[in-house]
């Protein structure tokens, strides 16, 4: 079968930089799937993406599908002809659908009877015929958040499309989409190479764009070039640029011919908190900030231009003018905000709606403060510091700075609290209570920050569940799944001994007058938390049966549950596990049908093996209990593993359900004693 290089390019207006990388990855995946689905073999499938294009180059692509063996079954023979032997509509319809005369159909036996049958071998479709429908389906399947329409067309795409390239080696393929016919002409850089570039072969694509078009179409190559340019600039300035990977992806998606330039700003702006300056540089201007050897912010930034200017100083000066305006705004907001007290902002929170049923942000802060006080008492923390942090934790939301830079919530609260002379621990906790903000973020470093963060999230969880707005399917407008994961991570990673289910009624009580929290709602929320714990632990690498074995014993202290889980995970390699798990399952089955509350009487034990098991349990119980009470679950499991032989011998030699009632009940009591010892760690019967 002949092969060729396939090239497809969509030339567009500037694509959204925040999603270009994911768009390119989906584009590549969809092409690979489409080629496979259409039985077209290929070698390499490489995707390209820049602000003005999405392209794919497929090497050694089959020029046609393999021969297609078509096999069709029609109606049963008895339904294909009437009593007079004339063909029925069903038979004629089958023949028509196959493109044959009815006489050309065969008869084939099946398990249910004879049927009309037709088979043929047809040549596969050509690549030229398949590309257009493949491209159309791929374009529809791309993850576009908000599609655009242009002119009076009835179709849409992420951005208007201006040209299409479709080639197989030297041939232009008959592709038409977006009211455009494909050609072999692409376009380079908007300013450096605006004229059409004619490709004579599909494999010339990348080289032609790079050498003639002033475009680096390879996203990752462009990304690394930017990184290297930044590093080179910094090494010459004795500085270190902070290269945020998400920002690097965004900048890479904004340029086709990157040129990194070092620029600066007036040192007077360093009087503004560094977090505000960094937000302006990074988030608003898409530039990289620089630090000195002591990690202090320098009055320097790196911008990445999309042109190779003959007058780079003019480009730098232009960027500096824009940055000056942005930093001047930040300085103005900071100086204006310092004139207002945190208490004043706290009062203003009463005018901001948190949720129409649950009231204002001011009311939410009041509830957070109550919960924080309760948690401080439970965990032995500084109650005054916790309640003070809770009182001011949302105050900076009313500041001009956070109004302009929302991503600085908490960070500016810390700065304004310090400026007001508050204790540093309280100021830091105001910022920390938002942590973890996402899956990759750390939990709050301080206990005060953890407590206020827990109070905030628990109030949200209980309140939103109470008003019937729990997450459904993939909809979670209040980000309750993330809030719950934040609670669990704070408890587990912060090593906090807390009974989370017991905290829910406390949060519910704080909602009095706003929402009634039923027992059913609390039960649903407990299940929600357990499900999130389950998912979190699976993502951490623990198997579902292992997690189930921990939760089955009724653990609601999730830090304790995580310790048990770690110990049990390590115990999975113990050779005694299989026998112990099977034995525990047998014990659970027997006791579920024959529950008993009596204690085991040693004097009633008749067989040597049951006496041996009783003595082994008696000997081990203090050590297992001591290990479990000190959360040394690995030691507890190691002790329990020594019960393998006496348990095996017991079940091999003893009839638990003896005819003698007293003997039977005593043996059931012995098994109950054994079961209680094991569930001090986990229900390992789940592992069988």
pLDDT in tens, 53-92: 999 999 999 999 888 778 888 888 888 888 888 888 888 8
Q: What is the pLDDT of residue 66?
A: 87
Domain ranges of the chain: 3-65+126-211, 68-122, 219-337, 353-398+413-541, 563-687
Summarize pLDDT for 77-132 with one digit per residue, the tens. 888 888 888 888 888 888 888 888 888 888 888 888 888 888 887 788 899 999 99
Tokens standing for residue 152: 């009076």
Average pLDDT over residues 661-688: 91
pLDDT in tens, 373-388: 999 999 999 999 999 9
Q: What is the CATH T-level fold of the domain 3-65+126-211, as seen in this structure?
A: Alpha-Beta Plaits (3.30.70)
Model pTM score: 0.82
What's the CA gap between 14 and 159, in Å, rounded? 7
Distance between CA atoms of residues 95 and 87, nearest Å: 11
In terms of DSSP H, where are the helices of 259-311?
Answer: 274-278
The structure tokens listed for 327 are 């930093």
pLDDT of residue 104: 82
Does pLDDT of 564 surpass 90? yes
Once rounded to an integer, what is the mean pLDDT over residues 554-575?
93
Task: Name residue 106's beta-bridge partners.
Answer: 117
Tell me the pLDDT band of 36, cut-offs 50, 70 and 90. very high
Q: Check: CATH 1.10.730.10 for 563-687?
A: yes
Mean pLDDT of 560-584: 93
- Alpha-carbon span 323 to 604, nearest angstrom: 88
Give percent of the chain with pLDDT exceeding 90.
Answer: 83
Question: Which of 50, 390, 63, 84 lies closest to 189 in space, CA to CA?
Answer: 50
Mean pLDDT of 432-448: 95
Is the distance from CB of 47 to CB of 27 less than 8 angstroms? yes
Contacts of residue 42, Cβ cutoff 8 Å, sequence gap at least 6:
6, 35, 58, 59, 60, 61, 62
CA distances from 65 to 33, 61, 308 (A): 15, 10, 46
pLDDT attached to residue 188:
96
pLDDT of 85: 82
User: How far apart, in whole angstroms, are the C-alpha atoms of residue 393 and residue 450?
Assistant: 12
How much is the average pLDDT of 610-625?
94
DSSP string, 401-413: HHHH-GGGTTHHH
pLDDT tens digits along 338-369: 999 999 999 999 999 999 999 999 999 999 99
Mean residue pLDDT of the chain comes to 94
* Mean pLDDT of the 443-448 span: 97
pLDDT value of residue 110: 85
Minimal CA–CA distance to 501: which of 470, 464, 527, 534?
527
pLDDT tens digit string along 175-211?
999 999 999 999 999 999 999 999 999 999 999 999 9
DSSP-derived 3-state class of residue 54: strand
Whether 640 and 678 have beta carbons less than 8 Å apart is answered as yes
d(Cα 406, Cα 398) in Å, to the nearest integer? 10
Token code pair at residue 29 = 């995946």
Q: Take residue 457 and report the two structure tokens written for it.
A: 């999230």
Q: What is the pLDDT of residues 303-313, one digit of tens each?
A: 999 999 999 99
Mean pLDDT: which of 114-118, 145-149, 447-451 is highest?
Answer: 447-451
Q: Examine the pLDDT at 452 and tell me if it is beyond 70.
A: yes
Q: Is the pLDDT of residue 688 over 70?
A: no
Q: What is the pLDDT of residues 378-428, one digit of tens each?
A: 999 999 999 999 999 999 999 999 999 999 999 999 999 999 999 999 999
d(CA 374, CA 371): 5
d(CA 402, CA 396): 7
Q: What does the DSSP assignment read for 495-547?
A: T----HHHHHHHHHHHTTTT----HHHHHHHHHHHHHHHHHHHHHTT--HHHH
Q: Would you state the pLDDT for residue 183?
A: 97
């Amino acid at each position: 079968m002949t092969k060729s290089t396939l090239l497809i390019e969509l030339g567009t207006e500037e694509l959204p930089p925040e999603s270009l990388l994911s768009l390119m990855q989906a584009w590549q995946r969809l092409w690979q799937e489409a080629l496979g689905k259409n039985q077209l073999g290929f070698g390499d499938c490489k995707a390209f993406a820049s602000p003005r294009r999405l392209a794919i180059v497929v090497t050694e692509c089959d020029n046609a599908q393999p021969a297609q063996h078509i096999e069709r079954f029609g109606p049963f023979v008895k339904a294909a002809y009437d009593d007079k032997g004339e063909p029925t509509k069903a038979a004629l319809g089958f023949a028509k659908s196959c493109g044959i005369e009815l006489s050309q159909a065969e008869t084939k036996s099946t398990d249910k009877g004879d049927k009309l049958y037709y088979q043929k071998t047809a040549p596969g479709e050509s690549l030229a015929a398949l590309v257009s429908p493949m491209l159309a389906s791929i374009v529809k399947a791309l993850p576009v958040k908000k599609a655009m329409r242009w002119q009076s067309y009835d179709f849409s795409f992420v951005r208007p499309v201006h040209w299409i390239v479709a080639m197989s080696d030297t041939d232009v393929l008959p592709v038409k989409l977006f009211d455009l016919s494909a050609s072999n002409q692409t376009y380079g850089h908007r300013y450096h190479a605006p004229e059409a570039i004619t490709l004579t072969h599909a494999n010339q694509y990348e080289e032609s764009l790079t050498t003639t078009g002033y475009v680096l179409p390879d996203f990752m190559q462009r990304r690394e070039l930017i990184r290297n340019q930044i590093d080179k600039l910094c090494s010459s300035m004795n500085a270190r640029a902070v290269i945020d990977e998400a920002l690097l992806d965004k900048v890479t998606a904004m340029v086709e011919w990157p040129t990194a330039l070092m620029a600066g700003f007036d040192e007077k702006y360093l009087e503004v908190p560094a977090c505000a300056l960094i937000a302006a540089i990074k988030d608003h201007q898409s530039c990289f900030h620089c630090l000195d050897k002591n990690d202090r912010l320098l009055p320097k930034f790196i911008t990445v231009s999309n042109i190779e200017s003959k007058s780079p100083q003019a480009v730098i000066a232009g960027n500096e003018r824009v940055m000056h305006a942005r930093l001047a705004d930040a300085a103005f907001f900071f100086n204006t905000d310092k004139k207002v007290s945190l208490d004043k902002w706290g009062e203003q929170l009463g005018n901001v709606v948190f949720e129409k049923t649950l009231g204002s942000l001011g009311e939410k802060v009041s509830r957070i403060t109550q919960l924080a006080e309760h948690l401080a008492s439970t965990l032995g923390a500084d109650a005054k510091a916790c309640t003070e942090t809770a009182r001011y934790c949302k105050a900076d939301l009313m500041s001009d700075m956070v109004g302009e830079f929302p991503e600085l919530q908490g960070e500016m609260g810390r700065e304004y609290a310090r400026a007001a002379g508050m204790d540093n621990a309280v100021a830091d906790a105001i910022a920390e209570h938002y942590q973890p903000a996402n899956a990759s973020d750390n939990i709050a470093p301080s206990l005060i920050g953890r407590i206020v963060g827990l109070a905030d999230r628990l109030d949200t969880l209980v309140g939103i569940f109470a008003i019937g707005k729990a997450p459904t399917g993939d909809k979670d407008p209040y980000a309750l799944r993330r809030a719950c994961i934040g609670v669990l991570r704070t408890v587990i990673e912060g090593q906090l001994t807390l009974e989370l289910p017991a905290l829910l009624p406390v949060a519910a009580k704080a909602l009095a007058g706003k929402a009634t929290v039923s027992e059913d709602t609390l039960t649903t929320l407990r299940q929600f938390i357990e499900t999130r714990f389950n998912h979190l632990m699976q993502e951490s690498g623990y198997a579902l049966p292992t997690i189930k074995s921990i939760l089955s014993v009724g653990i609601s202290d999730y830090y304790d549950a995580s310790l048990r889980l770690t110990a049990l995970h390590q115990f999975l390699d113990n050779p005694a596990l299989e026998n112990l798990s099977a034995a525990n399952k047998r014990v659970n089955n027997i006791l579920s049908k024959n529950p008993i509350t009596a204690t085991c009487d040693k004097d009633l034990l008749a067989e040597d093996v049951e006496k041996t098991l009783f003595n082994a349990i008696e000997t081990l119980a203090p050590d297992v209990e001591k290990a479990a009470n000190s959360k040394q679950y690995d030691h507890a499991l190691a002790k329990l593993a020594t019960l393998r032989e006496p348990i095996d011998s017991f079940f091999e030699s003893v009839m638990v359900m003896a005819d003698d009632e007293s003997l039977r009940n005593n043996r059931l009591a012995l098994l109950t004693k054994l079961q209680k010892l094991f569930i001090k760690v986990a229900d390992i019967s789940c592992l069988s």
